[in-house]
Structure formats: C-alpha cells, structure tokens
Amino acid sequence: MKRTAFFISDGTGITAEALGNSLLAQFEKIHFERITVPYIDDLEKAANLVKRINKSAELDGEKPLVFDTIVDNTIRAEITKANGFMIDIFGTFLQPLEQELAASSSYSVGRSHSISNESNYERRIHAVNFALDNDDGARTRYYDEADIILIGASRSGKTPTCLYLALHYGIKAANYPITEDDIHDQRLPKVLRPHREKLFGLTIDPDRLATIRNERRPNSRYSSAKQCQFEVEEIELMYRRERLPYLNTTAYSVEEISTRIMVNTGIERNR
C-alpha cells in the first residue's frame, strides 16, 4: 500500500517534516511517498501547489496527506482547497494558544529556523567550529572551554554526536579517542585527568565496532574482531574503575545518544 504525504511550509518545512514523519512512523505497513515543499509564501505558489496535490490525488486514486505549518491564514485557506487530507498544524494549535496566552500570534513567516535569534544562532555555529577544531583529540588545550568531552574507542560514535550536539543545541563538545596505547592499568589517560568532570564515555558492542571499522579499513588489525574486543573490554573496565558515566551506543541513533547524554549529565541546551 502506498500513500503520498506532502510537508508544506512558508519557511523551511523542517517542522512539518519532523511532525509528519513522527506521525507516519506509527503506520509501519504503509509505504509513504514523501514530498517536502518549502517557501509557499504567496497565493500563486499556493495555487500551483493545490494543482500538484490534486494531480497526485488523481494518480494515487487516494487523497494525499498534507501536513502544513503555514502561518498566513489566506495562504492556508488556499491550500485547504486541495483534494488532500489536511493536518493543519498551526491552524489547530495557534488559536487555542493565543487564547491561553491572551496574546496575538505575530503570524510572521518562517521564524522557527531563521537567524532571528542571532546570538543563539551564532552560538550554534561557534559550537560546530569548536567540535571540528577539537575533534579526534586533535587539540586538547581548549578543553577548558568545552561543555563536554566525549571519549571512547575509534568509531564508537563520538564525532557525529559532537556535531549533533553543536549544530542543534549549541553545546561545545570535544572528543578524544582512547587507543590501546592510552590505557595503562585501566586508568584514565593523563591528558584527560584535569577535565574528569566533563568526560562522558561511549562504548559499543565489539561486533558492531568491527563491522564499522571494516568499512573504513578492511581486513586490518584495527578492524579485527580480536582487536575490537580487546579495546572495548579495556575501555569499559577503565570507565568503571574511574567511575565515569558512559553509554553503549550500539542500538542508538545520534539523536538518541545526544539526548541520553543530556539527560545523564544535566548539560544545558544553549538556546
């Protein structure tokens, strides 16, 4: 079974996409054809989009689902003319919110992913630069500035997680790879000791680690089952001995790893 879903917005469409995808994820048996249409910010674009939705309805023989976060009432009214099943996100929630807050919505377009909150946006970009400059143990002398320092075996998920924390939440995240040369008697590497309160460990099932490393360097010692097993064991022993908080990332996405780190450490979103 196949169904078309449109995510429509006067801005980037990111919110409509996020909510739409969350709802569609609840219907696993249906295959959805997803179409994001951002920047529908005048009546002409809206009218053209209505035609596109109607055409899709005709081809499918069923109404497309239409998730929209359009702010402007006139443009939204135009979209409503389409032969689609409307999930009108702002239309549903804005009016009750206006009442509860006893305030008018500004009905300003595309605000949620703009740089309108400039200091907040700059903090995110700075955090991305910080993550890149302090990736993979490249530099350790700026750890004083870090909000968090992720540690773990090579390819346990540190870099994508740092980037996600930076890009989304403006969190300054450095990362340091623990290699076998770094571990003696399951103690923390010297360079990390002054920053113990910022450390968060990642670990991963050795089999999964070997698979990931094999994509990078096939049939090497680095990616062998034995080496992965050894590193993971030593590193986990070190985490426990040093009583560091840590997380097994095997079953988690970067979004989940990032969220769990924030829950676990109480680190603040910088927004």
- Beta carbons of 239 and 202 less than 8 angstroms apart: no
To a second copy, the closest distance from the beta carbon of 234 in angstroms equals: 25
To a second copy, the closest distance from the beta carbon of 142 in angstroms equals: 14
103 belongs to an annotated ligand binding site: no
What is the SS3 assignment for 29?
Answer: coil
4 belongs to an annotated ligand binding site: no
To a second copy, the closest distance from the beta carbon of 194 in angstroms equals: 27
Q: Return the bridge partners of 66, or none.
A: 6, 86
For residues 38 and 177, which CB has a smaller minimum distance to a second copy in the complex? 38
166 belongs to an annotated ligand binding site: no
To a second copy, the closest distance from the beta carbon of 236 in angstroms equals: 22
For residues 85 and 230, which CB has a smaller minimum distance to a second copy in the complex? 85
Burial readout 233-260 (b: 16 or more C-beta within 10 A, e: otherwise): ebbbebbeebeeebbbbeebebeebbee
- Beta carbons of 42 and 70 less than 8 angstroms apart: no
For residues 199 and 257, which CB has a smaller minimum distance to a second copy in the complex? 257
For residues 47 and 167, which CB has a smaller minimum distance to a second copy in the complex? 167
153 belongs to an annotated ligand binding site: yes
In the complex, which residues of this chain contact a second copy (CB under 8 A)?
Answer: 3, 11-15, 18-19, 21-23, 25-30, 34, 36, 38-39, 63, 65, 69, 71, 85, 87, 89-90, 92-94, 96-97, 100-101, 103, 105-108, 110-116, 121, 125, 128, 132, 135, 159-160, 163-164, 167, 251-256, 258-260, 263, 269, 271
152 belongs to an annotated ligand binding site: yes
- Beta carbons of 177 and 154 less than 8 angstroms apart: yes
- Beta carbons of 216 and 155 less than 8 angstroms apart: yes
**Which residue is it, tokens 């959805």?**
32
**Which residue is it, tokens 């081809």?**
59
For residues 120 and 187, which CB has a smaller minimum distance to a second copy in the complex? 120
13 belongs to an annotated ligand binding site: no
250-253 — which CB contacts under 8 Å span 24+ positions? 250/204, 250/205, 250/208
Binding residues for ADP: 152-159
Binding residues: 152-159
